[in-house]
Amino acid sequence: MATYKQHTGDKGEDYACDLLVEKNFKIIKRNYRYGHGEIDVVAQDGDVLVFVEVKTRKNLEFGYPISGVTKAKQRQIRKIAEAYLIEHDVTDTDCRFDVVGVLLQGNERPVIDHIENAF
């Protein structure tokens, strides 16, 4: 059974994927897990493989969603991305890390920020 937090995160990831597709990204994989970590979205932007971290919040009590991607989280995402590259035998491909912040505001349209090459 999904928790309230998981439901919020899933909703944010749906919005993020919709935005990426609108920007002509191809979604390759959602929720790629390795060890205890996860990359929310693996996508293709032209010739570039993009690892996307999605942060979703329902309010600004703890700051903007993107501020939740700490240095420790960035290190974890890099390690998981390396595992993805090895597992899928990806070589000679440019890669980058993007962050999508989703602020859900009740019944209003969400505020979505997409930072390419975020770290």
Fold that domain 4-115 belongs to in CATH: Trna Endonuclease; Chain: A, domain 1 (3.40.1350)
Q: How far apart are CA 46 and CA 26, in angstroms?
A: 8
State the pTM of this model.
0.93
Domain boundary assignment for the chain: 4-115
Q: What is the pLDDT of residues 66-85, one digit of tens each?
A: 999 999 999 999 999 999 99
CA distances to 10, 13, 72 from 7, rounded to whole Å, are: 5, 10, 24
Q: What is the pLDDT of residues 10-24, one digit of tens each?
A: 999 999 999 999 999
